[in-house]
Amino acid sequence: MYAAAVKRRISLVMSMVLVVLAPGCKLRPSRQPGAPANVPPAPPPVGSPTAWLEPAARAASPDERADRLIAALSRDEKLTLLTGYFGVQKEWNNYRFPEARPQSAGLVRGVPRAHLTPQWQSDAGSGVATQGEAPPELERTLLPSGILTASTWDPELAEHGGAMIGSEARATGYNVMLAGGVNLLREPGNGRNFEYGGEDPLLAGTMVGALVRGIQSNHIVSTIKHFALNDQETGRTSVNVVIDEGAARISDLLAFQIALEKGDPGSVMCSYNLINGVYACQNPWLLNEVLKQDWGFKGYVMSDWGAQHDTVLNANGGLDQETGVAHLNKYQWLDKLAVALARGDVSPARFDDMAHRVVRTLIAKGAVDDPVQPSKIDFAAHAQVTQADAEAGIVLLKNEKLLPISASTKTIAVIGGHADVGVLTGGGSAQVYAPGGNAVRGVGPQSWPGPHVYARSSPLTALRAELPQAAISWSDGADPKRAAEAASKSDIAIVFVTQWTAEALDFSVTLPDAQDALVEAVARANPRTIVVLETGGPVLMPWLDRVSGVLEAWYPGSRGGPAIARVLSGAVNPSGHLPVSFPRSVDQLPRAAIPGAGLPKDERFDVHYDEGAAVGYRWYDKQGLEPLFAFGHGLSYSTFAHEALAASAAKESIDVSFKVRSTGVRAGKDVALVFVSPVNGGWEAPKRLGAFAKVELAPGAERELRVHVDPRLLATWDSALHGFRIAAGDYKVSLATSARSEGPSVTIALPGATLPAGAGSAH
């Protein structure tokens, strides 16, 4: 079953790779890796291969130690470090690596002579993933999806989640995590939105950076991915993204830049798509100039699985490590790089730089000196981490005084969404099988990226535990009439609706399987209806006016059931806020449909990001459109007041202080959004999120908060300067609860400033 799933996935990746081989390019016959043929011998290695590990050497910097090791390695050994395979353990496709971890995404072999560890790679967006259905011994804790974690607006929680993932990675023998998805949400229908951090560069970069920091606190490496502008899955290997550099620098690239600064990932994974005509993984502007030169990135760039196309262009364009080689006789890099070196198409210095970057990263992150050791996972402790994340990121979108469910409620009808057994998860390489395995079998595509996987955490069971006084009935929702009947006989109806989304696919923003009709039928029978959404991104809600409450639970992870139940019962006061705008209809979007659908596979096509940096709320503001739910929106069972806003110019930017006061009767958490806006315009849209803060308050309590606006959020990109420019003038600073609900504001004059391309935030 596993082998079949992986094979299907690999054939998908390889079909992407093979089509771009130059005509007439001969595939080499199969043989053992690491022994390139027909190329002149490389210069001999110098020095002891283990000197870099001796106690005296450990005091040296990672760069010095890496240099010492690189000098002692042969060309073939260096090639070994730069070549990643699918991490299969079984004899298969002409190769078998006994050291591979079961069901892993990738393996880069070690150099035993130099005591250099293999690189064991696993996807890890919301837990340590498996490349197919996991047997019980490979089940792991599943965090909520990235978009839910972004909805917490709480970087500390994201970091805890990352630390949990990292500890399970160590326990299961992985030292390179393919995590840190930070592509901006430009397309509400993108099948991977669930893996990412939403539509705003500051929020996404901050939250994903915190996750990466947590992962790497376990002395392992994490990536951020998919660099860059991989904002749709339709034609992901053939889409050419056309965007103005200035717009990219203050939108998608800024999200990566912030994540890089906050998380310091050891690796950046370049993406499948082309940008302004050049594949991301061989794009010297993206990898050499922006990432390595402007941002000073010292780690290594790995390709997305099969995203490399041309050895020489890849190597000289900035790619350091090829990954996802599936067949020894179909590899791209190992021999070809050796040939390119021999011919002088790739310089020895560049070759050593690639190896140096990989080794220095493994040293700098601790993966060499503190090697991973398989051990036991503390599932009980990790259940608390994932539940805390879910409870802080579930968003209460609408509440007409029905929630929290009162203790006097006698009867509740729970309907649909397989809520009797589990909660939905997102599909693709990020798929984690949580304890207990898939609670609902046989649903959705039966080959990768399917099937639909439900974490075994039942909201129905949890609701019954939370609300013991109520009689809670269950109906699967397959028959709207029966569901409506159950609703009409109950005090409250709770309808669970789901949309599975997954890698390699895009989706409509309309709920599938006639679930809108189900909600309509139930709401008609009983207006005291609450809808719980389990979706990977925004969806339309034609029934919104007819229901009393809506909760966006995203994919809430392996403790999603109790988290949902506790928000509904009031045991938890909701504090999630949307990291994305929900459209009223697709006509509001820059593109009503995702481009490229229906084209022959691998036919190149352009997508023009003419909206530039006006992504999400910035687009709605610029066009004067009212979204269904605005970026930042999220209700609480408490109320809060924002007061005493003050702003002062500080170091090319603005310091902001304000008070948040609880005006409710329950303890709760508020998120204060600080928007900045040039009074005389000149940006891609009227305003940008400049800073944010989440604060927990007891009833009646207040806190003074201080935040600093990242100066790049006051700037535009100036190509002539090759940096950011803040125009002199007046700027409005406002406090808000969402992009559509602004509170107090002040105006401040800034003298104007310029910032280098790599200016980090002083946040």
Q: How many chain residues are in contact with ligand BGC, going by CB under 6 A? A: 8
Strand blocks (E) in 271-371: 274-275, 278-279, 300-303, 322-325
Query: What is the smallest separation between the CB atom of 568 and ligand BGC, expressed in angstroms?
Result: 33
Query: What is the smallest separation between the CB atom of 316 and ligand BGC, expressed in angstroms?
Result: 24
- Whole-number Å distance between alpha carbons of 427 and 256: 23
Residues 628-667 that bind ligand BGC (CB under 6 A): none
Residues 370-429 that bind ligand BGC (CB under 6 A): 429
Q: Does 292 bind ligand BGC (CB under 6 A)?
A: no
Classify strands 300-303 and 278-279 as parallel, antiparallel or unpaired.
unpaired
In the list 95, 111, 123, 533, the residue contacting ligand BGC (rule: CB under 6 A) is 123
Q: In what order do the strands lie in the sheet with 176-178?
A: 300-303, 267-270, 221-227, 176-178, 119-123, 104-108, 83-87, 322-325
Nearer to ligand BGC, 191 or 393 (CB): 191
**Distances, alpha carbon 497 to alpha carbons 198, 217, 279, 387, 458, in Å:** 21, 37, 38, 20, 14
Nearer to ligand BGC, 142 or 572 (CB): 142
**Distances, alpha carbon 582 to alpha carbons 2, 195, 514, 625, 629, in Å:** 37, 17, 20, 11, 5
User: Is 224:212 a contact under the CB 8 Å cutoff?
Assistant: yes
Query: What is the smallest separation between the CB atom of 231 and ligand BGC, expressed in angstroms?
Result: 13
Nearer to ligand BGC, 109 or 225 (CB): 225
Classify strands 653-662 and 640-650 as parallel, antiparallel or unpaired.
antiparallel
Residues 82-111 that bind ligand BGC (CB under 6 A): 105
Interaxial angle between packed helices 379-393 and 155-171, expressed in degrees from 0 to 180 and rounded to the nearest 10: 150
Query: What is the smallest separation between the CB atom of 225 and ligand BGC, expressed in angstroms?
Result: 6
- Whole-number Å distance between alpha carbons of 221 and 368: 11
Query: What is the smallest separation between the CB atom of 508 and ligand BGC, expressed in angstroms?
Result: 22
Nearer to ligand BGC, 429 or 677 (CB): 429
Residue with tokens 């005389």: 680
User: Is 61:50 a contact under the CB 8 Å cutoff?
Assistant: no
Q: Does 270 bind ligand BGC (CB under 6 A)?
A: no
Nearer to ligand BGC, 42 or 178 (CB): 178
Residue type at 573? N
Residues 192-231 that bind ligand BGC (CB under 6 A): 225
Find the angle CA(8)-CA(11)-CA(12) to the nearest 5 degrees.
85
In the list 305, 433, 619, 717, the residue contacting ligand BGC (rule: CB under 6 A) is 305
Query: What is the smallest separation between the CB atom of 12 and ligand BGC, expressed in angstroms?
Result: 8
In the list 16, 69, 100, 178, the residue contacting ligand BGC (rule: CB under 6 A) is 178
- Whole-number Å distance between alpha carbons of 236 and 226: 11
**Distances, alpha carbon 603 to alpha carbons 217, 237, 238, 511, in Å:** 42, 9, 6, 29
Nearer to ligand BGC, 62 or 146 (CB): 146
Query: What is the smallest separation between the CB atom of 272 and ligand BGC, expressed in angstroms?
Result: 7
Nearer to ligand BGC, 42 or 212 (CB): 212
Query: What is the smallest separation between the CB atom of 123 and ligand BGC, expressed in angstroms?
Result: 5
Residue length, the chain?
A: 763
Nearer to ligand BGC, 86 or 629 (CB): 86
Query: What is the smallest separation between the CB atom of 179 and ligand BGC, expressed in angstroms?
Result: 8
Find the angle CA(365)-CA(100)-CA(447) to the nearest 5 degrees.
110
DSSP 466: H
Nearer to ligand BGC, 123 or 670 (CB): 123
Q: Does 139 bind ligand BGC (CB under 6 A)?
A: no
Query: Footprint of ligand BGC on this chain (CB under 6 A)?
Result: 105, 123, 178, 225, 304-305, 429, 503
